[in-house]
Chain A
Amino acid sequence: MEVDGDEGSGWDQLTGGSWHGLGLTDPIKSVEDKWLLLPAFLKVKGLVKQHIDSFNFFCNHDIKNIVKANNKVTSDVDPRFWLKYTDINVGMPDRNDGSSVERKVTPHECRLRDITYSAPISVTIHYTRGKNIVQRTVNIGRLPIMLRSSKCYLTGRTHAELARMTECPLDPGGYFVVKGTEKVILVQEQLSKNRIIVELDTVKNIVQASCTSSTHGGLKSKTYVATKKGRIYLRHNCVHEDIPIVIALKAMGIQSDKEILLLTAGTTEAYKAAFAANLEDAAKLGVFTRQQALEYIGSRVKVNRKVMGPRRPAWEEALEALATIVLAHVPVKGLDLRSKAIFVATMTRRVLMAMEDEKMVDDRDYVGNKRLELAGQLLALLFEDLFKTYNANLKTAIDKVLKKQSRTSEFDAFNTMQFQGDHLTSGFVRAISTGNWSLKRFKMERAGVTHVLSRLSFISALGMMTRISSQFEKTRKVSGPRALQPSQWGMLCPSDTPEGEACGLVKNLALMTHITTDVEEPPIVQLAFMLGVEDISLATGTEIYGPHTFVVNVNGTIIGLTRYPARFVAQFRRLRRARRISEFVSVFINHHHKAVHIASDGGRICRPMIIVENGRPRVTPEHIALLKKGTVVFDDFLRKGLVEYLDVNEENDAYIALYEADIVPATTHLEIEPFTLLGAVAGLIPYPHHNQSPRNTYQCAMGKQAIGAIGYNQLNRIDTLLYLSVYPQQPMVKTKTIELVGYDKLPAGQNATVAVMSYSGYDIEDALILNKASLDRGYGRCQVLRKNATLIRKYPNGTFDRLADAPVDENTGQIAKKYDIIQADGLAGVGERVDPGDVYINKQTPTNSTDNSFTGQAAAVPYRNTPMSYKSPVAGNIDKVLISDTENDQTLIKVLIRQTRRPELGDKFSSRHGQKGVCGLIVNQEDMPFNDQGINPDTIMNPHGFPSRMTVGKMIELLAGKAGVLSGKLQYGTAFGGSKVEDMSRILVENGFSYAGKDMLTSGITGEPLEAYVYFGPIYYQKLKHMVMDKMHARARGPRATLTRQPTEGRSREGGLRLGEMERDCLIGYGATQLLLERLMISSDKFEVNACSKCGLMGYNGWCTYCKSSKQMAQLTIPYAAKLLFQELMAMNVVPRLILDDA
């Protein structure tokens, strides 16, 4: 890192006082290429910086804090024994199997071997051994390591080094490899902690202020101050019923009614009037003193004491509850609850304000009221829980040893720790691999926190890393949380959200957002005091709500007052720009609440912006030139106060110009680049600002299904299912985002020459016509690789699975056809073609593997064949065979089978504008229309796709693409910019084409010119993963479900095609009784039963077991399901009787 006053870069000359000899009359140069700050930003931060920063914060700082908070283990048996954790460190990932020489393990090895990429956690302990105090270091477990975090081997490596580790340099990292699967901990969106939120329930006419307190130590509780029938109450989980607010305040030590009134209503008459009734209520209840108030509350406090000790007086219970449980985040010195009382009073005042004026209600969907919880925070919670349990276990184990009166050797707690098992390791692995964060200790019960990283395409993996999931229930029909919030501007991508139930709840980060981690609070508080803030504990209500006083909050807690908020904020910001405090601390004024808020907590979304001073951006063209030269990096811009991070709240305090030309004297900031308001996935769309907005949203969903290249290591990967494009191309019309995320290096699509015209009628409903010659030459060709894995097990009874070579048929002396690719090692040869039904792993399993009493020779046991055979109806090739062993020494065999597919009728394609379609017809080249140059289109698209979709961006993409092809340059379609249509038209005309992009085509069938000019040029098309080959299905006869004897369901089980209720209704309506009978019974689960016409029960073989007779038996055909129903009813003591007519 460079230090201030570094001469080499010439930086100081620039930032120095002079304006480079420029006079006042000189024209101001505009900062061109200021967007270059974006790549500089991404270079420092990477695309998934939020995950990595959060994880780094956890394993470098947070983990130490947690251990510090739980650092002592003592024994109930021996009071002289203690064990203290003094330090904790997370190492680098290593191999867990003891004997290996090379300890270093790469993530890719973990993926292939189905093991966990984890590093040991070692603690330094001090403990008593006999009379001595001993220091030792011991491993307590293993922590899965986030890829590209500070503990990962991939961090800071060159491309060549990464290549040696078979890792893709473009892979963003930020995920974990657990048991061989890549797992992402999604960003979780939550309402911010420790802040007051005022809500209005218009139905019940209730105003309430709530505050969720959360402190380090994990205690979480929610406190409400709410109205009920015009009175205000304090509500909290630890008290049975609502406490009148006046009583609560009295219990907190504010005894005088006058003071209560001043602290809550202040001097405002309206508030006073609204509050007065509460004071009367307290008087009516006979509560006047603090003691009375505490008694009142104490009798209503929920007591949950684990150990039944002596009962404490009620007031003591109340005092403890108020001091420790209610609003736990407000610091309490001794038993002085004044600061807490002021907090409650503030909440009350906010309720009063909201009662008076509905506008004073807070918006819980406002992004400034949200906090994003990241992998680090979730792991911290998990670690704290596991560590506490670990310590509890350790304590019981120590107690157990110490309980023994006479020990052979001196007790050494180190040994006990060695045998503590893998509680932490398995806890982490279980949580991450199942996604269940079930922490009873913190009342946390969350499922679906982690997801398997989708490797369908590079973009789908990247999109997953920027995804934010909301805690809201998906089923609730509220529009608020789903709506696009104006405060999301620049922070969350407005386009990238799924359709359907999760719409608006699952969001994605924009390109330049950063999520803060915790910054220490005490220095900030101190700084605030130094800047002239008066301590709140010295103030009375009159002062707090005085006409010019502003309350200063730090992370939601009130610390003091200031008379000059603007000056205070300005000074505070100046210090931040000078890097005296962290750049992620935000400060802003809330004029409605007359408060200054300072926030340093983690999980706030923020983004960098150029600072504007005196109507000029502080970043000048000279700075950009230095940046281009590479002598400065993004951090230098921050350090020199040219650029700063603003969070959502502070954005409201700023006047931000979108473009330099918009700067007016009041402007405080300048956007770095408008297109950063989109996310990484929406950034792929060329000219998105010309499209109808839902189209961009559709493309965001489809870009993740496009088949392309997924990483430089794609051919070394063995994934369950991997789709790869044979000839991926970078788009002709790219965007700056494409270059920044590396989509041009790992593309998913091809530049198809498209003719927008109707052809053949097989192009209705968005169907596409494809050129057969293009397909012959490799357009749209893709590979599908499927993993088939098995374990060669060793069983507890000593027996084991084995691989066998191909069996020779006894009669013919030949090897059966289905074994023809099996080689001597029992595995299929690499490169061999696998036909349907072929065996590719000839495994054999001992017949007595579960027999635990078996003691004989393991090699001599009888074996049965358990081969793995190829199921797909289309032949494939063996791509790779991997033999390895897992962490518990089982042999693992993975066989990767590859299919290469050329597009066929029904395969799905899409452009980058949410315009999907299936292939409707494949046309020979000679039948395709051609232009004067003899160019045939690869694809024909029906023009009806345009009017209703309004994807003008697609039309401009074609124009720009065509111009790019003709001029031999790639064009840009960057959002809010990009190559201009006028320039594109000029290039077309210069090259002898029509300015409009429309060409005169000749029909390939008649040979005559087409009567209309056809819009003709390249558009980037993606092949989507939905291919008919994986979907087509038909059945005549086939398997049936055992229970009902009806045909099975679903393609994978070769199921039948259901004639459902609505189809049945049609047949009934039509009166097609015989067809109904056939569909619902004869072709399904026809069953012959014998029924007795006398008793109506079913018998068998012409015999009624009820009547003990065969006299009146009849045979009838009913669905087996009906027979089953009858029998099930009988089992429940209901007798269904068949009444037979006409028998």
Chain B
Amino acid sequence: MLRYTIRRFLELIPKLLIITLVIFLGLQALPGDPITRTVPPEMYKNMTEAELEMLRESLGLNRPWYMQYFSWLGRILQGNLGFSQVNGSDVSQMMADRLPATIALAVFALLIANILGLLFGYLAAIHKNSWIDYTNTTFSVIGISVPEFFFGIMFILFFSLNLRWFPTGGRMTAGDGSFWNRLHHMVLPGTCLALPLVATLMRFTRSSMLDVLNKDYVKTARSKGLPRLTVNVKHGLRNAMIPVMTLLVFRLPILVSGAVVIESVFNYTGVGAMALDALSASDIPVVMLTTMVMAAVTLVASCLVDILTAVLDPRIRLD
């Protein structure tokens, strides 16, 4: 297991290098002096040309591009993403504020999606062709066909404006940043984000579960006289979950894409909103850095799901 985990993480490195390299080259290709993106703007303003030259030398901005790439990468790994040229703010600080919010939203959505998707998919499979199966099928088709933001607007209208159960948006009430307050703000956007995933997972769990229930080892377990629930969950669901987890890896980027839209619907100030704001201010470097960080986070998350799948299925570790 440890060997498998290490191998998966090692496989991440070339991908992360390529992503960062592409973004680095993109940043280099942009007009403007790279040093303005590297040092705080107030510091830049007060410096003489000679001092700037010295700083360039010490930051390695005079060296060939591949050397620059590595020193840039080193600065990023130390948590220094540079500065926005448009409003002079520290990109790392913005990230530190917004990335956890987006990750929290995505994790919340993933939890809902996994719990509901697996549960209802499981129920639909063991009660095949019952009303619960048909309700599921109907819901799963609707769930993958209706855009998330349309759900979002409807939710705001019903649950926020009419029923007043949840706030219309934001990450927390001003002056109140408690856990429950944040969670309360996360319910509607998190549910909207989860719905398409719930639908997909439900559908997939159902078919995967039906597949597994026909396997010989399930029949054997049943004929041994094991309780039905034990067979269904321990022999059935556990094995049925493996293809579902694989699907989850492919769905993660779609979840992140959805988060960008949902954050905008609910004024949830996460990374997606940050990319959008930067884009409307034509702050391309910040958009590039945001994209890079999000891609890297998605990549690492996919890797974690892969490892989790290997925990479920020992066969994967062997090849």
Chain A bound to chain B: no
Residue positions of B touching A, CB distance < 8 A: none
Residue positions of A touching B, CB distance < 8 A: none
